Structure 1
Amino acid sequence: MRLRVEFTTEPFDLDEPPPHALAARDVVQGADLDTVDVGPFGNTAEGGADEVLTAVDALLRKALAAGATRVSLQVNVLEEQA
């Protein structure tokens, strides 16, 4: 099974990324995922179910420890390509 996770961390800071956003970004960029797209208002990553779920666990723990007051995320199951 392949999954896509989309997430944001708060509070926002438009001048520079806060520590919790950097922590979450570091997790997904360092994870064994197929694609990672990091943006100023949201982030997306795709990969196998085990890899995505492991990354989600780590990004929640690290973002909250780094000061996030809210982490919003959505996980979608992707159709397998033949």
Structure 2
Amino acid sequence: MRLRVELTTEPFDLDEAPEHAVVVREVVGTAGLDAVHVGPFGNTAEGGADAVPAAVGALLRRTLAAGATRVSLQIDVVGEDGR
């Protein structure tokens, strides 16, 4: 199964990336996910049924520890692995 995660952390800071936003980039970049898009108002990435939940766990622990006061996420099934 192939999954897509969409994730937003708050509070927003348009002047510079807050630490929790930097953590999102680090976790997604090292989690073995693909189709990654990191933006100022949301982030998306895709991966397998094992990789996405593992990354989400790391994202939640690390972004909250880095000062996020809210983490919003959505996970969608987007197909089968290898397609």
TM-score range, shorter chain: over 0.9
> Which 5+ residue runs of structure 2 have no aligned equivalent?
none
CA distance in 1, matches of 2:31, 2:39: 17
What residue is the counterpart of 1:8 in the other structure? Answer: 8
The secondary structure found in structure 2 opposite 1:53 is helix
What residue is the counterpart of 2:23 in the other structure? Answer: 23
CA distance in 2, matches of 1:16, 1:62: 19
The secondary structure found in structure 2 opposite 1:4 is strand
Q: Contact (CA 8 Å) 1:23, 1:66: kept in 2 or not? A: yes
The secondary structure found in structure 2 opposite 1:63 is helix
Identity of aligned residues (%): 71
TM-score, normalising length: structure 2: 0.93
TM-score, normalising length: structure 1: 0.94
What residue is the counterpart of 1:66 in the other structure? Answer: 66
What residue is the counterpart of 1:77 in the other structure? Answer: 77
Deviation above 2 Å: which 4+ runs of structure 1?
Answer: 79-82
Report the RMSD for the aligned CA atoms in angstroms. 1.2
> Which 5+ residue runs of structure 1 have no aligned equivalent?
none
Which residue identity lines up with residue 45 of structure 1 in the other structure?
A: A
Q: How many correspondences in the alignment?
A: 82
